[in-house]
Amino acid sequence: MKAKIVITPKKAVLDPQGKTVQSALEHMGYTGVAGVHVGKYIEIDLAPGTDREAARQALDTACHRFLSNPVIEDYKLEIAD
Amino acid sequence: MHFAVLQFPASNCDQDCVHGIRVLGHTAGLVWHKDTTLGAPDAVIVPGGFSYGDYLRCGAIARFSPVMQAVKQFADNGGLVLGICNGFQILCEAGLLPGALVRNRDLQFHCEQVFLKTASRTSPFTSQIPAGKILRIPIAHGEGCYFADAETLAQLQAGDQILWQYCDQAGELSEPANPNGSLLNIAGICNAARNVAGLMPHPDRASEPLLGSTDGRLIFASMLHALAQRTAPAAVAAAAPVAQAA
């Protein structure tokens, strides 16, 4: 079992990396790109026998306290098999 | 007075801060990040560097180190805490200061001299900076763009918590003078209680004529002045406004 966490910058926060990647895509001829947001992906391997719901709750807290900064970032947490 | 200067793995301005205090005739000592107590300092400096390799986010891991619990307690009791550069990032991550520092808007690491306007002289970190003086102090950072939501920014303005702003040589807050895209040209702020402050520029690297500027000393001198007032007998404190008026 794995926890998959995707962290993205909040919409209100300046994302120069996303803007630069968007501009590069446009220069390469990719049309229809309305926005690019560059974030982080964290994968956590969970020990065998871990309770799924308990892990989700604990990691949700960890995402809020440590893995993301709620002032500037949003996160999505998924527990996958 | 005695200053505690924290030392994390990859702090690199800790000795500069110690020197910045000693050159003013006071003492400073290093406190290791695994220590759970600070000793009995009069003030704390969280220095610049790349604590824990800047992994995850700048300051995100350092804020959970044992020594930061002691710093939080020291701040909660009204102690003076100054965070410089990475120290500012750590204090924001720790929730001791509002907002966050994100990637510079041009994605470049900036290592250069900047000009700073002191937006509020009513703080233990700015009181000894002469009115109208434009400070010349270096920056060295890749993640120094100050961000806070609109509500927090309004609170900072209403509470007179913006201490320093990037400006040009004439003191104008302009876009070209803003090296990193910080909102409202913010270079440094303090908390609502005014005993915790952080700034991205390095007063520690502007504390000797050999370094090109001694303007940084004014920030340390302000802290020393505030500490002296705290320990001064009541009669001396009462006489201070008269001396200022004269």
Which residues from B are below 8 Å from A22, CB to CB? none
Q: What is the pLDDT of residue A14?
A: 86
Decide if A14 and B105 are in contact by the 8 Å CB cutoff: yes
Q: Are B115 and B169 in contact (CB under 8 A)?
A: yes
What percentage of chain B exceeds 90 in pLDDT? 93
Q: What is the pLDDT of residue B90?
A: 98
- Gap between the Cα atoms of A7 and B23, Å rounded: 44
* pLDDT-based confidence at residue A38 (cuts at 50, 70, 90): very high
Orientation angle between helical segments B14-22 and B217-231, nearest 10 degrees: 60
Instruction: Give residue ranges of A with CB < 8 Å to any B CB.
Output: 9, 12-14, 16-17, 20, 66-67, 69, 71-72
pLDDT digits (tens, 9 = 90+) for B230-239: 987 654 444 4
* Amino acid in position A60: D
pLDDT digits (tens, 9 = 90+) for A51-68: 999 999 999 999 999 999
Encoding tokens for residue B113? 């001299």
Q: Check whether A41 has a pLDDT greater than 90.
A: yes
Question: Which residue carries 């920056």 as its tokens?
Answer: B139
- Gap between the Cα atoms of B106 and B190, Å rounded: 26
Contacts of residue B241, defined as CB under 8 A and 6 or more positions apart, other chains included, come to: none
Q: Check whether B112 has a pLDDT greater than 90.
A: yes
* Number of domains chain B contains: 1
Give B236 or B182, the one with higher predicted confidence: B182
* pLDDT-based confidence at residue B191 (cuts at 50, 70, 90): very high
CATH placement of domain A2-80: 3.30.1280.10
The CATH number covering residue B180 comes to 3.40.50.880
Lowest mean pLDDT among A6-15, B127-136, B152-161, B193-202: A6-15
Domain that holds residue B74: 2-245
What percentage of chain A exceeds 90 in pLDDT? 96
For chain A, give every domain's residue range: 2-80
Task: Assign 3-state DSSP to chain A and report helix, strand, coil percentages, each to 5.
Answer: 35, 25, 40
Assign 3-class secondary structure to B36-70: CCCCCCCEEEECCECHHHHCCCCCCCHHHCHHHHH
Encoding tokens for residue B168? 């040009």
Q: Does B204 touch chain A (CB under 8 A)?
A: no
- Residue to test with chain A: of B55, B56, B143, most A Cβ within 10 A: B56
